[in-house]
Amino acid sequence: MTTLDPRAPLVLDTRQLQRRPGTMLEVARTVPAPEGLGTDVIGIGEGEPLELDLRLESVIEGVLVSGSVRGRATGACVRCLEPVEEDLDVSVQELFAYADRAAHHQEVGADEDDDQRVLQGDLLDLEPVIRDSVVPALPFQPVCRPDCPGLCSECGARLADDPDHHHESIDPRWATLQQLASTDGSVTHTTEEKRN
């Protein structure tokens, strides 16, 4: 485990709680989003503001973090590639166990839980918690609007801008003749006649 930097924006210091169950600490701050907070198609850009509104509660086992994380995700519509923005407001709740408690927990082999978060001294790292809450809250396939018609499969035009957009469809049989025309000039005439 890497050593946490107490000055990192997503590292919280719980010293004020003094390991006294029942003590509470409120944390409201805006921090720059860490990198990689999203999927291939949408996410909160690195350095974009993340609003944290959290409550840190001292409990027997450690520190319970709960509250909300807000930010604006940006991405592209999967149908037409127009920019998409989505305001996120996700709730988080996570127990950070005291290191000595966590060690004991593992010794007795109770409920093997690799995902357990552990305090480093008085410090806790919120970044993995935020990632685990924000990423699943993002739309799997973001769209600019629910009925986005997407792009024209023939020319790539955005159909929302031009709903009547269409191309003269060529009968597949004539399309074959057209192909022939490029190698055999004799059918060119017929093809053009039919298309007009």
- The residues of the shown chain that bind Zn ion, judged by CB under 5 A, are 77, 79-80, 82, 144, 148, 152, 154-155, 157
The beta strand positions in the chain, using DSSP E, are: 11-13, 24-32, 37-38, 42-44, 49-58, 62-76, 83-97, 117-118, 123-125
Residue 84 CB, shortest distance to Zn ion, in Å, is 8
- Helix ranges, the chain (H): 99-107, 127-137, 172-183, 188-195
The candidate with the shortest Cα–Cα distance to 127, out of 64, 50, 55, 72, is 50
Task: State the nearest-atom distance from the C-beta of 73 to Zn ion, in Å.
Answer: 16
Give 118 or 148: the residue with its C-beta nearer to Zn ion.
148
Cβ-based nearer residue to Zn ion, 166 or 194: 166
Instruction: Report the nearest approach of Zn ion to the CB of residue 144 (Å).
Output: 3
User: Smaller CB distance to Zn ion: residue 109 or 156?
Assistant: 156
Dist. CA 41–CA 36, nearest whole Å? 12
Considering the complex, state which of residue 62 and residue 75 has its C-beta at the smaller distance from Zn ion. 75
> Do residues 95 and 113 lie in contact, with contact meaning Cβ atoms separated by under 8 Å?
no
Strands 83-97 and 117-118: parallel
> Least separation, in Å, of the C-beta of 121 and Zn ion?
48
Nearer residue to Zn ion within complex by CB, 3 or 153: 153
Shortest Cβ 77–Zn ion spacing (Å):
3
